[in-house]
Amino acid sequence: MELEHSFTVPVPEERAWEVLMDVNRVAPCMPGATLDSVEGDDIKGRIKVKVGPIAMTYAGTAHFAERDEQNHVIVLEASGKETRGAGTASATVRSTLQEQGAQTHVVVNTTLNVTGRPAQFGRGVMAEVGGKLIGIFASNLAEMLAADSAQPADSAQPADQGRADGEQEGDLDQRSLESLVLPVRTYNGLRRTGIHTVDDLAAQTREQLLAIEGIGPASVEEIRQKLADRGLTLRESPVSGNGVAGSAAVQPPPTVPAATAAEPATEPVRPAAATASNAGRASDDDAIDLLSVAGAPVLKRAIPVAAAVVTVAVIVLRIRVKRRKARG
């Protein structure tokens, strides 16, 4: 079956395009979706579908089949299998972006195929359900894009600079986790925890890394050396003396925010952003070095980070205030 949804968001096309390319932000817009892993272009995840008495879980993969930056078309192909049955579902989601002044009109065309028990059921249950899911997905996406544009007030300049720069790809490679060539076990552990870039990694403390499944002291030592080759260091452990508040600020290693899929718009903290905010406070020097290397594209990508920094800072402040009150 074919479905079409469209919406307009108050952000320039370039911003909308960027966000749509970010799996970690797009996936939570799918109601009931959980990301299991993201490796390159391949996304593994699950979708829980619940309608009245009917509940089904599909596990599967998705990948970007097409990213046409010229015509602003993104095609995402997804296919999954029921976790408790032999049914399958597949979808091709084609998003087309059209610039309308300072706004962007997004058209989402979806082709949905469902086989298995729903077919036995004899009616278009899944078509009904699928249509609804895509509808919610589209509206969540619209909300997220709109919320995104409302956050960073100081973001206009870097975005303009970014437009002039065409060398994103090479810069990105240098920052990616893959470029460190870590052992698979370590690499997967980091990815699972939401660490996707070298900056993310440098923002971790030794203790945080040790808390990750599959990473032990030897792995941490290896990471430390590979970072040192690039002139980077791990984030230092929280300063002693204010141990309680400090640990509250840095405690949770960032995780993929898929668990809160129901409210993606109010979940502005993407994993990279959460860690980068820590990095910002720990070592300003590193941040400046990286910017001089990566240039404008990084600045552009830092817009959501900036938003997240503000959010995290507010949360941390609140926690601290509460703790003080509790102590007093």
Partner 1 sequence: MIPSKFDYVRPSSLDEAVRALADAGDDAKVIAGGQSLLPLLRLRLANPELLVDVGGIDELRGVTDEGDSLLIGARTTHYQLVHDPLIAEHCGLIAETAETVADPAVRHRGTFGGSLAHGDPAGDLPAVALALDATLIARGPGGDREIPAADFFVDYLTTALEPAEVLTGIRVPKLPGWGYRYEKFHRTAQAWATVGVAALVQRSNGQVANARIGLTNMGPVPVRATAAEEAATGAQASRDSLRAAASRAGEGTEPPADLHGAPDYRRHLARVLTGRALAAAAGV
For residue 27, which amino acid is it? A
CB 86, min distance to partner 1, A: 11
Contact of 260 with 25, CB cutoff 8 Å: no
**Among residues 44, 81, 117, 224, the one that binds partner 1 under rule CB under 8 A:** 117
Catalogue the long-range contacts made by 224-229 (C-beta closer than 8 Å, 24 or more residues apart): 226/180, 226/181, 226/182, 227/180, 227/198, 227/201, 227/202
CA distance 294 to 292: 6
CB 231, min distance to partner 1, A: 53
If binding is defined by CB under 8 A, does position 292 make contact with partner 1? no
CB 92, min distance to partner 1, A: 18
**Among residues 59, 67, 75, 85, the one that binds partner 1 under rule CB under 8 A:** 85
CA-based end-to-end distance of the chain: 61
Residues 205-244 touching partner 1, rule: CB under 8 A, are: none
Contact track, partner 1, 9-28, x by CB under 8 A: --------------------
CB 132, min distance to partner 1, A: 7
Nearer to partner 1, 123 or 327 (CB): 123
* Helices (runs of H) and strands (runs of E) counted in the chain: 14, 7
If binding is defined by CB under 8 A, does position 132 make contact with partner 1? yes
CA distance 87 to 271: 33
**Among residues 70, 71, 100, 120, the one that binds partner 1 under rule CB under 8 A:** 120
Of the candidates 145, 112, 132, the residue with the CA atom closest to the CA atom of residue 21? 145
CA dihedral 289, 291, 292, 293 (to 10 degrees): 90
- Full DSSP string of 169-211: HHHHHHHBGGGG---HHHHHHHHHTT--BHHHHHTSBHHHHHT
- From the list 35-43, 113-121, 194-202, 238-246, the region that binds partner 1 by CB under 8 A is 113-121
CB 204, min distance to partner 1, A: 37
- From the list 120-128, 139-147, 155-163, 270-278, the region that binds partner 1 by CB under 8 A is 120-128
Tokens 């920052």, residue located: 175
Number of residues that bind partner 1 (CB under 8 A): 21
CA distance 205 to 279: 10
CB 57, min distance to partner 1, A: 10
Residues 29-58 touching partner 1, rule: CB under 8 A, are: 51-56
Nearer to partner 1, 83 or 176 (CB): 83
Nearer to partner 1, 116 or 214 (CB): 116
If binding is defined by CB under 8 A, does position 123 make contact with partner 1? yes
CA distance 29 to 270: 13
Element containing residue 118 per DSSP (H, E) = helix 117-120
Nearer to partner 1, 129 or 307 (CB): 129
Residues of this chain that interact with partner 1 (CB under 8 A) are 1, 51-56, 84-85, 117-118, 120-125, 127-129, 132
